[in-house]
Structure 1
Amino acid sequence: MESKRGPGRTPGAGKAVWRALGYLRRYRFDTMGALLSLLMASAANLAAPQFVRQVVDEGIAHGSMPAVRAAVAGLVGVALVRGVCNFLQGYLAERASQGVAFDLRDSLFERLQRLSFSYHDQAQTGQLLTRLTNDVEQVRTFVGGGAVQVVASLLMLVGCTALLFMTNPVLALAALATIAPVLWVLRHFMMKMGPLFGQVQGTLGRLNSILQESLRGARVVRAFSGEARESARYGRVNEEYLGLNLQLITIIFTHFPWVFFFASLGTLVVVGVGGWLIFHQWLSIGELLAFNSYLGFLLLPLITLGFLANQMSRAGVSAVRIFELLDTSVEVVDRPGAQVLPPLEGRVELRDVRFRYAGGERDILKGVSFVVEPGQFVAIIGTTGSGKSTVINLIPRFYEVTGGAVLIDGRDVRDVTLASLRSQVGIVLQEATLFAGTLRENIAYGRPSASLEEVQAAAEAAQAAEFIAALPQGYDTPVGERGVGLSGGQRQRVAIARALLTQPRLLILDDSTSAVDARTEAEIQHALDRLMRGSQRTAIVIAQRLSTVRDADQVIVLDEGRVVAQGRHEELLASSPLYNEILGSQLRPEQGEAV
């Protein structure tokens, strides 16, 4: 959404930059070292014109070779000091800036890991990637080197001005009056650049979002011959991004020629007025040369500050976007005084649960109540949009209920720590997400210390061992990004094995067998049933097949956010028209099986 504040800077950009500068405290020795080195380099620069004056006024004018040698030695010393200090300033500033970037990326990633599902439901992945990459880089560039340059430029400005007046006050006033318009040009430049940077960063985020969506949906794009449409969509935003960057370039190249014009005008005034003063014996030739050098040094920090203002505007916009993310509240957190959940028995109760997604206009769940006893195998079915997935997302507290309570073993899930709750709940989500790495690493994700034998046992239970054994590298087979290289059914079996390896007392499966064939689904269900019966593990499954509801201890039927029926398969067949309708329209029978 565009700002209604008119031209100027992004609201809060100044405070955000100051806050980003605070990250330098951890690297204060590097920062102070860089600043001190830059000040020494600036002092060496200011000393150089005095040696030039000495060569002209004391050496050449009076024919004194010792004065010339001393001045040349001084210039060599200045060059050495300047070289060493410039190296130290660049090296130490870069160390500090990389440290700040590391801390920001680390903080942003940690925050993203803790933010609630409701935030990720609304956030665009491309925008988040832009904040972790481009925005962090913009802040790093200014905070590390730019901030030090600002301080040094301001001190250089004061030092040059003082030396100009010490050399000749009349000439100093004439020169400063000539170059004063440079300040107006730089101010106008800053006011123009500020708003554009916000638009540039926002457009870059949209560009990354389209790129990310297109890459993830590459198969869908090709399946529907959407390449041209995707290229056109990307091209439109890319063209907008190009246009904004060209506007930035236009502003730079329409302002800085004026800076150099007034600088040249200042040199013209210095030569003219200075020549007149020399003819009247009020100024020496060496002093005129030194004065002209100091005037150049005065313009250098002014121009540097102009570019740094450009850099600061970028950093300010990026810092606002970074701290917006860092300051986003985490909705699902441990309450003060939250207790560690003891080892589960497996009783689950939803008591008059109501839920509405953030920003939503209607309740998804409207007073849902049911009880699952320890060791029960419960199937949840319902009409489309009835809230099935929402129910199982509330049990491990991925979302916070807006009314009522979810209880496990009689304890409200809000009164126990998240770590102790989720460590005892095994969940297989609708989308079987795998990470880059080996199959063994993916199965052992919840228990990285698990032995190979334990991993193999979990794979066996999930009916994944057979296809893994057939792979050339077995459990050490690399898995591509998001499980590319495995079929949907194979990915889901690996995800089920991952959940089983944690040996959960409560197992939740969200449509986890929807991508496997009937035979594999039956094998998985048989293995899960054996595991649940043998260990008294509670299981809650969103059912997609008739065999699942037929074997369940209890079937819960949802419709429009309410429980409309519950009981065993045979009971519901006789008492619930909606259940019969769902059986006929949604659930898939196994081969040769009739409803």
Structure 2
Amino acid sequence: MIKLFRFLKPYAATVAAVVMLFFLQSMAELYLPTLMSDIVDKGIYNGDTSYIIKTGGFMLLVAGGSAVCVIIASLLASKTAMKFGRDLRKKVFERAESFSLNEFDKIGTSSMITRTTNDITQVQTVTVMIMRMMISAPLMCIGGIIMAVQKDKGLSWVLVVVIPLLVGVIAFVASKGVPLFKAMQVKIDKLNLVVRENLTGIRVIRAFNRIDDEKKRFVAANEDLTNNAIKVNLIMAAMMPLMMLIMSLTSVAIIWFGGIRIDQGDMQVGAMMAFIQYATQIMFSLIMVSMMFVLIPRAQASAVRINEVLEMEPEIIDPKQPDNVQKQRGYIEFKDVTFSYPGAEEPAIRNISFSAKPGEVTAIIGGTGSGKSTLISLIPRFYDIEGGNILIDGVDVRSMTQEALRTKIGFVPQKAVLFSGTITENIKYGKEDATEEEIKNAAEVAQAMEFISNMKDGFDSEIAQGGSNVSGGQKQRLSIARALVRRPEIYIFDDSFSALDFKTDAKLRAALKSEIKEATAIIVAQRVSTVMDADRIIVLDEGQIVGMGTHKELLSSNEVYREIVSSQLSEEELA
């Protein structure tokens, strides 16, 4: 957790002020019992009213100063901890944004959400406690012992017995509670995972009538977390009565043995009263320390998870001196490219070589798992290749900045993703400064104008989270419009026409021809009708290119392509 405190550097002056204020408050708290003792022993005992008023007034002043210090220090500590948490969330989010898909696969989405929210909250809470107690608790404990011994050495043996007993109770509670606190974060991760899968997969769950099974999954994860939390709370609940019992017995012992010493003339009443207060301060400071010992391990577990994100180096990083992009626009070349997913026994694609030029449409077709989507995800560098080279405009993608590379590309993913907001905002996601005319043109080419105009507010109609208030085909058309408005050098369509009916598919492809005639287009498709007119068709099978050419050339020479075509088209259509 100490590693994370480097983010407190901007607030060093505020932290120093908090420490100083709590120091002053602790000194004031330690001084108050002595003043009270003096009032009893010197004022009340001697009947000196003026001394009582004078010392009592000073006592009120010290107590008021202590209260002011606590209020200001608590306010500064809380504000600093909130800003510290804000900065941490920003750092974690920024680091997550720089991750490749491989890093996301390692951490997991649900765990990433927990780390950004719950874990940072744990660290934030403990930071407030540390700032409030790192000075006051040790000072109150050590100062209380010194002041108590000064008041009466003969009664100090009570503290010699009580303090080890309290420390033993705290150690026992910590040994039982710390493992449970550490397990809490993992169980929260599991609950988040179950909830997230239920919310995102609700259609599948209902379609397969698995609602009861998912309820059982949720109840199991929820019960696991609840039982863990109950165990922790039972331990913490048992600690406080034990502490209070020890404190009460200590007060009884002090009064009992203090009374004997007063009777023998070895101690005064005021001194005994001060001794009781110092003993109480010592024990309360130990309780505060015990709270820190219990909460810090949980925060430490959270800090480890946060540091794991912050220290995880992204596999895909920008070169320090990116190569200058050549004058060619949209030229793509794969040279003997091989790629494996982490932990995979076999490469997903291997020895891939082809080129695609502006003004051409390159189609990629193949069976399920043949590597189509993997191949095109390497162009915008979502993953880094294992061997070979991918050149864009004559420059290796690894020698370009990610921003420069992705600015050249209009990407339409296989699974259409929309964001909450208006239709206009979703289309403008492709080009922030797009004009109204550009937005409408992109929508027309994407065959989205018809359903947009039928919506109540047209382009100002709201899209729900995840695009749940539009159909799959409508989502795909809006995704295509988002890529078109960008007017990039390279268009990548990853099976982006699968949710469209044949009529809309044909109209869209016809409209696209004129729109992307000066750009390079790569289309991944399952339908033969979508790729038939492409300038070049690449046939993939088990991660390798097994055929390349036009529809007619492949139909006559490539067995794999012929099987795909015959499975979709009739003899009359083939003829």
Is TM (by shorter chain) over 0.5?
yes
Contact 1:20 1:143 in 2 (8 A): no
Contact 2:537 2:549 in 1 (8 A): yes
Contact 1:340 1:417 in 2 (8 A): no
Q: Which moved more, 1:268-277 or 1:160-169?
A: 268-277
- Equivalent residue in structure 2 for 1:509, among 472, 480, 493: 493
> Aligned pair 1:400/2:392, yes or no?
no
The residue aligned with 2:174 is 190
The residue aligned with 1:560 is 542
> Aligned pair 1:58/2:42, yes or no?
yes
The residue aligned with 1:248 is 232
Contact 2:77 2:131 in 1 (8 A): no
Contact 1:380 1:558 in 2 (8 A): yes
Q: Deviations over 1:492-518 (max 9, x none)?
A: 111111111111111000000111111
Q: Deviations over 1:334-373 (max 9, x none)?
A: 1232225356522211111111111222210121111212
**AA of the residue aligned to 2:191:** L
Q: Distance in 2 between matches of 1:215 and 1:588?
A: 39
The residue aligned with 2:558 is 576
**AA of the residue aligned to 2:2:** W
Contact 2:331 2:392 in 1 (8 A): yes
5 Å matches for 1:117-266?
A: 117-266=101-250
- Equivalent residue in structure 2 for 1:418, among 399, 402, 411: 402
**AA of the residue aligned to 2:179:** P
Contact 2:325 2:394 in 1 (8 A): no
Q: Distance in 2 between matches of 1:42 and 1:526?
A: 79
Q: Distance in 2 between matches of 1:261 and 1:179?
A: 13
> Aligned pair 1:85/2:69, yes or no?
yes
Q: Secondary structure at the match of 1:349?
A: strand
> Aligned pair 1:541/2:486, yes or no?
no
Q: Distance in 2 between matches of 1:79 and 1:148?
A: 18
5 Å matches for 1:423-442?
A: 423-442=407-426
Q: Secondary structure at the match of 1:367?
A: strand
The residue aligned with 1:269 is 253
Q: Secondary structure at the match of 2:429?
A: coil
Displacement, 1:584?
A: 2.8
**AA of the residue aligned to 1:381:** I
Q: Distance in 2 between matches of 1:177 and 1:41?
A: 28
Q: Secondary structure at the match of 1:332?
A: coil
Q: Secondary structure at the match of 1:551?
A: coil
The residue aligned with 1:34 is 18
**AA of the residue aligned to 1:560:** E
Q: Which moved more, 1:551-560 or 1:55-64?
A: 55-64
Q: Distance in 2 between matches of 1:109 and 1:94?
A: 22
Q: Distance in 1 between matches of 2:473 and 2:213?
A: 31
C-alpha change, 1:284 and 1:509, in structure 2 (3 Å) is same
Q: Distance in 2 between matches of 1:113 and 1:235?
A: 33
| CA RMSD after TM alignment | 1.7
Displacement, 1:271?
A: 1.8
> Aligned pair 1:499/2:483, yes or no?
yes
- Equivalent residue in structure 2 for 1:47, among 3, 27, 31: 31
Contact 1:176 1:266 in 2 (8 A): no
**AA of the residue aligned to 2:536:** Q
Q: Distance in 2 between matches of 1:593 and 1:445?
A: 40
Return the TM-score normalized by structure 1: 0.93
Displacement, 1:122?
A: 4.2
Return the TM-score normalized by structure 2: 0.96
Displacement, 1:151?
A: 2.5
5 Å matches for 1:93-112?
A: 93-112=77-96
Displacement, 1:235?
A: 0.5
**AA of the residue aligned to 2:353:** S
Contact 2:373 2:494 in 1 (8 A): yes
- Equivalent residue in structure 1 for 2:268, among 284, 292, 308: 284
Contact 1:340 1:420 in 2 (8 A): no
Q: Distance in 1 between matches of 2:573 and 2:215?
A: 47
C-alpha change, 1:343 and 1:232, in structure 2 (3 Å) is farther
**AA of the residue aligned to 1:571:** E
**AA of the residue aligned to 1:349:** E
**AA of the residue aligned to 1:370:** F
Q: Secondary structure at the match of 1:180?
A: helix
C-alpha change, 1:344 and 1:36, in structure 2 (3 Å) is farther
Q: Distance in 1 between matches of 2:569 and 2:246?
A: 81
Contact 1:355 1:365 in 2 (8 A): yes
> Aligned pair 1:550/2:532, yes or no?
yes
Displacement, 1:191?
A: 2.5
Contact 2:327 2:393 in 1 (8 A): no
**AA of the residue aligned to 2:127:** V
Contact 2:431 2:485 in 1 (8 A): yes
The residue aligned with 1:23 is 7
Contact 1:376 1:537 in 2 (8 A): yes
Q: Deviations over 1:167-212 (max 9, x none)?
A: 1222123323233211122122222222212211101111011101
**AA of the residue aligned to 2:436:** L
Q: Distance in 1 between matches of 2:186 and 2:278?
A: 42
Displacement, 1:30?
A: 2.4
**AA of the residue aligned to 1:538:** T
Q: Secondary structure at the match of 1:516?
A: coil
Contact 2:155 2:254 in 1 (8 A): yes
Contact 1:175 1:270 in 2 (8 A): no
Q: Deviations over 1:526-567 (max 9, x none)?
A: 11112122xx21100002323322110000000011000000
C-alpha change, 1:464 and 1:593, in structure 2 (3 Å) is farther
Contact 1:138 1:318 in 2 (8 A): yes
Q: Deviations over 1:304-329 (max 9, x none)?
A: 00011112112111111111111112
Contact 2:22 2:136 in 1 (8 A): yes
C-alpha change, 1:343 and 1:231, in structure 2 (3 Å) is farther
Q: Distance in 2 between matches of 1:340 and 1:300?
A: 67
Q: Secondary structure at the match of 1:129?
A: helix
Displacement, 1:55?
A: 2.0
Q: Secondary structure at the match of 1:385?
A: coil
Q: How many residues align?
A: 574
Q: Deviations over 1:245-287 (max 9, x none)?
A: 1221232234444333332332233223322222232211101
Contact 1:335 1:415 in 2 (8 A): yes
> Aligned pair 1:362/2:346, yes or no?
yes
Q: Distance in 1 between matches of 2:483 and 2:168?
A: 65
The residue aligned with 1:10 is none
C-alpha change, 1:253 and 1:144, in structure 2 (3 Å) is closer
Contact 1:338 1:416 in 2 (8 A): yes
**AA of the residue aligned to 2:534:** A
**AA of the residue aligned to 2:295:** Q
Q: Deviations over 1:214-248 (max 9, x none)?
A: 01111111111111011000101111111111221
Q: Which moved more, 1:79-88 or 1:296-305?
A: 79-88
Q: Distance in 2 between matches of 1:409 and 1:179?
A: 75
Q: Secondary structure at the match of 1:400?
A: coil
Q: Distance in 2 between matches of 1:388 and 1:521?
A: 20
Q: Distance in 2 between matches of 1:588 and 1:281?
A: 112
